Amino acid sequence: MVIPKKILALSLVVIVLAAAVYFLFLKKGAAPAESTTGGTSEAESGSAAPDAAKQTESQEPQPLAVKAVPAVKGDLVISLKSPGEAFTNRMIAVKAEVAGVIKSLNIAEGRHVREGDLLIEIDDREYRLRLEKQQALRLKYLSEMLLEKQFGAPDVALSAEAQGKIEKAKADLEKASEGFAKGLLSDQELERARRDYELVLIETGAKKDEIMASAKNLTQAEIDVKIAELELDKTRIRAAFPGIITGIKVSPKEHLAAGQELFTLVNIAEIKVRAKVLESEIGKMKVGREVDVRFSAYPGKVFKGTVDAISPVVNADDKTCAVQVAVRNPAEEIKPGMHAEVEIAAEIHAGRLIVPQDAILVRGGRKLVFVVEGELAKWRYVEIGVENEAFAEILDGVKEGELVITEGHFTLAHDARVTVKS
């Protein structure tokens, strides 16, 4: 087939135009790209200097934050540790001293009571009647004796010796009565003086008939009255000391037998802790020394106490000596029977230059500390004296008042820049 020349010419023109348009648009798109590239280069070249300055600054090491405390003079205490057990020596089992029916029961488990509080009252009607009966008998014998004195036969003449004995016994009785009234003599001493006087009257024969007839009965009646009064008083059971009621074993209206256990009264405002110390260490124990006591029931809490007593006997089995510690317990947190860990001050080294154990490091087999001087940490070798778990005595290498680093110093180098944080 033969293609006309006119069509070939037209096709050639279209191809040339298309090529021209393509190159035109390609050139316009390339120019902005070059412009953008050029602008970026200028920006990069313009910021090169500041970035270099920042990099130079970042190479300067920042100060390391550390904690530090001053080396101070104080007491360094060497303590002994021992297991112990809490107990109280103010705990009694209260018992009924007389028989009877409970009239009122004023106790409850865990109740706090004061000294003298009325806790249990026993029906006292029987004991009141008994007292009234004894008082009536006493009054009867006393009346008979007074009547005999007033209307009886005249006294037999006495010898001078007998009269002297009577006068002396009478003076002793009057003196005893005055002393009793002033609170200087007891009931027993007054009763003894009265009996001595009556014996002298009997021995000398003075008013023998009336004394023999009435004095014996009157004396016995007075004793019976006192017994009845004592039994009546025992129907009221009171708190012997301030404390807590526990272990109640009776109920209201219950009939009690004499000697029956009623309840337990315990005071735990002050607790004792019994610890054991090896006989080789007992010479370091002193009454009055401070003690730290810890109980597993209160983790992290330390109770303060003092050595109250040291046993004079060493246990032959384990070669230990018992040490008693008194601990104040106002909140009643400590209970008798609790297990304790006791730390007793055994040796007290006063006026020593001390630093915390946390400040001491060991490098190359030698002990050292880091001391803060201005903004720098200085490496110092030190000589250690006595020490305990918390502190060490510095004999050489650090002066009083210098700051020693206690935290953040494990990787420190000599002359490292530091800042002390509060």
pLDDT over 70 at 49, yes or no: no
Neighbours of 239 (CB within 10 A): 19
Position 52 confidence tier, pLDDT thresholds 50, 70, 90: very low
Q: Do domains 65-76+351-420 and 78-88+267-349 have the same CATH topology?
A: no
pLDDT over 70 at 353, yes or no: yes
Position 188 confidence tier, pLDDT thresholds 50, 70, 90: confident
pLDDT, position 53:
46
Q: What percent of the chain has pLDDT over 90?
A: 54
Q: What is the mean pLDDT of the chain?
A: 83
Nearest to 402 by CA among 383, 381, 374: 374
More confident residue, 206 or 291: 291
Position 347 confidence tier, pLDDT thresholds 50, 70, 90: confident
Q: Which residue has the tokens 């597993």?
A: 296
How would you classify the pairing of strands 416-420 and 64-70? parallel
pLDDT over 70 at 237, yes or no: yes
pLDDT over 90 at 41, yes or no: no
Q: What is the pLDDT averaged over residues 88-110?
A: 95
pLDDT over 70 at 32, yes or no: no
Nearest to 307 by CA among 348, 342, 280: 342
What is the Cα–Cα distance from 141 to 214, expressed in whole angstroms? Answer: 6
More confident residue, 364 or 53: 364
Half-sphere exposure at residue 77, Cβ-oriented, CA atoms within 13 angstroms = 12
Position 39 confidence tier, pLDDT thresholds 50, 70, 90: very low
CATH architecture under which domain 78-88+267-349 falls: Beta Barrel (2.40)
Position 8 confidence tier, pLDDT thresholds 50, 70, 90: low
Q: What is the pLDDT averaged over residues 153-162?
A: 64
pLDDT, position 67:
94
Position 232 confidence tier, pLDDT thresholds 50, 70, 90: very high
pLDDT over 60 at 48, yes or no: no
Q: What is the pLDDT averaged over residues 318-344?
A: 94
Full DSSP string of 51-116: HHHHHHHHTSPPPEEEEEEE-EEEEEEEEEEEEEEEE-S-EEEEE-SS-EEEEEE---TT-EE-TT
More confident residue, 198 or 254: 254
Which residues make beta-bridge pairs with 84? Answer: 275, 340
What is the Cα–Cα distance from 331 to 91, expressed in whole angstroms? Answer: 18
User: The domain 65-76+351-420: what is its CATH number?
Assistant: 2.40.420.20
Nearest to 380 by CA among 396, 393, 365: 396
pLDDT, position 136:
86
pLDDT, position 94:
97
What is the Cα–Cα distance from 85 to 197, expressed in whole angstroms? Answer: 57
Q: For 74-88, 196-210, 255-269, which range has the lowest pLDDT when averaged over its residues?
A: 196-210
Neighbours of 291 (CB within 10 A): 25
DSSP class of 283: G
What is the Cα–Cα distance from 422 to 403, expressed in whole angstroms? Answer: 13
Q: What is the pLDDT averaged over residues 164-179?
A: 84
Neighbours of 309 (CB within 10 A): 13
User: Are the C-beta atoms of residues 271 and 334 closer than 8 Å to each other?
Assistant: yes
243-294: pLDDT as tens digits: 999 999 999 999 999 999 999 999 999 999 999 999 988 888 999 999 999 9
Position 23 confidence tier, pLDDT thresholds 50, 70, 90: low
pLDDT, position 179:
83
Q: Which residue has the tokens 């050029």?
A: 38
Sorted by where each begins, the domain ranges of the chain are 1-60, 65-76+351-420, 78-88+267-349, 97-118+240-264, 125-233
Nearest to 336 by CA among 268, 243, 244: 268
Nearest to 304 by CA among 324, 325, 276: 325
What is the Cα–Cα distance from 178 to 185, expressed in whole angstroms? Answer: 9
Q: What percent of the chain has pLDDT over 70?
A: 78
pLDDT, position 308:
94
User: What's the pTM?
Assistant: 0.59
Question: Rg (Cα) of the chain, in Å, rounded?
Answer: 51
Q: What distance, in Å, lies between the first and last C-alpha atoms of the chain?
A: 103
* Angle at the Cα of 123 from the Cα atoms of 121 and 128, rounded to 5 degrees: 110
Position 299 confidence tier, pLDDT thresholds 50, 70, 90: very high
More confident residue, 144 or 205: 144
Torsion angle in degrees (nearest 10) through CA of 51, 53, 54, 56: 120
What is the Cα–Cα distance from 224 to 326, expressed in whole angstroms? Answer: 45
